[in-house]
Amino acid sequence: MRNFTTMLLSQFEFKLPEELIAQFPPEERGMSRMLVMDKLSGHCEIRSFSDLPDYLTEGDCVVINNTKVINARIFGRKNGDGAKVEILFLKKITDMKWTSFFRPGKRMRKGTRIKVQTPSGEDCWLVIAERTDDGIFIVESEDIPIGRIQELAGHVPLPPYIRRGDEVSDKGRYQTVYAKEEGAVAAPTAGLHFTDDIFAEFARKGVSVAELTLHVGPGTFLPVSCENIEDHKMHAEYFFLPSLAERNINEAKGKGRKILAVGTTTVRVLESCANEDGTVEAGSGETSIFIYPPYKPKVADMLLTNFHLPGSTLLMLVSAFSSLENVMKAYGAAVENKLKFYSYGDCMLFK
């Protein structure tokens, strides 16, 4: 999506102290702080995530992304006993063939074989079938389905700003409690705060919940490299908005109630399926929608999201819910109050 205005990458930059980048989740799920910002005035206050139901009333609708993170990160050795390489599987083509990223990738060529050793000592072999111009590799398995290799030897694909290896606890904590549909290589992190108790409170208050799917791809971490952000190209991601979600969202809209989108991925699906009147139509496909000011989301009235990287497309998207000035002031308040940033960090509610 192109919005015919000139916005510069430098407008979305800010200084973030390294110590505010969360390296671990809170001790218990849901024990996060929540910066609440009024979209119009920019007024902010700091609450607890457990206070989220206080901002919703009967008839409102909460929309969540039920994608499930796969064990997409695999380690192997080039040509069996050569250099160690890291593979991030991106998208299934067939059971035996996937697209992927390699690190390091500069010297990886078509025909290169990679040996992956499973914890049981079994060796699996992969071969590079193709390398595309945009740095994506097509990899084939010579032995067993790649999904099985992920089950046996895969690691949780923690984002690069979490500077540690994955631990056993990450298998549960880097996954929402409502994750169902496998296919993401990154978590929809706003959803990581939710607990069964929060959903029980929604039900008690008469707040409906609508589920959709967007399989978060690696594009969520790719930096914007052009100063004029209109020149940035988004990677496409698979989405599915079912008819039940369409009904719940449109019913709330018809009654004049609020729609709370949980996370930027949810917003991207809603806007990809939006009508001009703010209702949605069920559907599926791939979306490369790029949302930034002065675009105003048609469907969601409220947004719950984590704090995002400087200069990221995610920061640009959340700025569309208010003004860039308000958002940057709120981020300054988050830094001043030492809220935690990124995937395992605290959250922000636009109301």
Q: Is residue 337 part of a domain?
A: yes
Q: What is the pLDDT of residues 204-236, one digit of tens each?
A: 999 999 999 999 987 766 778 788 888 888 888
Same domain assignment for residues 99 and 219: no
Residue at a domain's end among 153, 187, 209: 153
Same domain assignment for residues 15 and 135: no
Q: Is residue 166 part of a domain?
A: no
pLDDT at 119: 85
The Cα 312–Cα 14 span in angstroms is: 11
Q: Is residue 223 part of a domain?
A: yes
Same domain assignment for residues 80 and 225: no
**Structural contact between residues 59 and 252, judged by C-beta atoms closer than 8 angstroms:** yes
What average pLDDT score do residues 238-266 get?
A: 98
Q: Is residue 303 part of a domain?
A: yes
Biggest CA–CA distance in the chain, Å, is: 64
Residue type, 341: F
**Is this model's pTM higher than 0.85 or not?**
yes
CATH number for the domain spanning 144: value is 2.40.10.240
Same domain assignment for residues 225 and 301: yes
Q: Is residue 228 part of a domain?
A: yes
For tokens 């006993």, what's the residue? 81
- Token pair, residue 241, equals 């908005």
Same domain assignment for residues 346 and 230: yes
Beta-strand relationship, 97-103 and 208-214: unpaired
What average pLDDT score do residues 267-289 get?
A: 97
Same domain assignment for residues 146 and 254: no
Asked whether residue 4 carries a pLDDT value surpassing 50, the answer given is: no
Domains held by the chain: number: 2
Same domain assignment for residues 90 and 56: no
Q: Give the structural domain span for 344.
A: 9-69+171-350
Residue 277: closest CA among 260, 303, 254, 307: 254
What average pLDDT score do residues 293-306 get?
A: 96
Same domain assignment for residues 77 and 61: no
Confidence of residue 107 (pLDDT cuts 50, 70, 90): confident
Q: Is residue 296 part of a domain?
A: yes
Q: Is residue 32 part of a domain?
A: yes
- Token pair, residue 175, equals 């996954």
Same domain assignment for residues 339 and 224: yes
pLDDT at 170: 97
CATH number for the domain spanning 208: value is 3.40.1780.10
Residue at a domain's end among 153, 185, 208: 153
Q: Is residue 158 part of a domain?
A: no
Residue positions counted in the chain: 351
